Structure 1
Amino acid sequence: MIKEITSFEEFNELSKSGKVLVDVYSKTCGPCKMLGFVLADLEKDLPDSVILKVDFDQNKEVVEKYDVASYPTILVLQDGEEVNRLKGLQQKPALKQLLEA
């Protein structure tokens, strides 16, 4: 499931349910747009996974909580706690490995 986050409360609720991949992006960022296609393809392979999309400019609470300085940034959370972080455009195999680990 890919879910666009619209509030900090929604993020907190959804990010505490097991392993969650968080894509912190900007609508004006080229690599971020390309990553969106990678995540859509990843969702086809792992339909039970939770992928949250967080707009860097619209969700300052999330950006500050996880000290995100650039985009795209991928956070992997386990029950709300950060367990991994990748910066920049990532390929599907690397992201799939993070979610399956």
Structure 2
Amino acid sequence: GLDRIYLQAKRWNNTTVGRPEVQKFVGALAGKGAMKGIFITTSTFTKEAIIYCENLTSQKIVLIDGNKLVELMVEFNIGLYTEQIYEIKKIDLDYFLDD
């Protein structure tokens, strides 16, 4: 709980984030003496970038792509509002039983 966690975010549409971008981030973390980082993108990561992070031993990097970002936004209700709520009715059969 006392570690500093550094963050980098890329708002890219049709460009995947590759290993070179992630390596630059890891290098920047090393320059700060940081052990943990989160790299967020609105697009996706290449397989090479994912494998690179999985094989890191001295640092922990969490990769969050666009799909995971949306999942987290929905889970924690960030940047969202409820537009409509639906009520589903079901017949209460006990109500119609004769006593």
Q: Do they fold alike, i.e. is TM over 0.5? A: no
Bigger relative CO (Cα 8 Å, ≥ 6 apart): 1
Structure of larger gyration radius: 2
> Which structure dedicates a bigger proportion of its chain to strand?
1
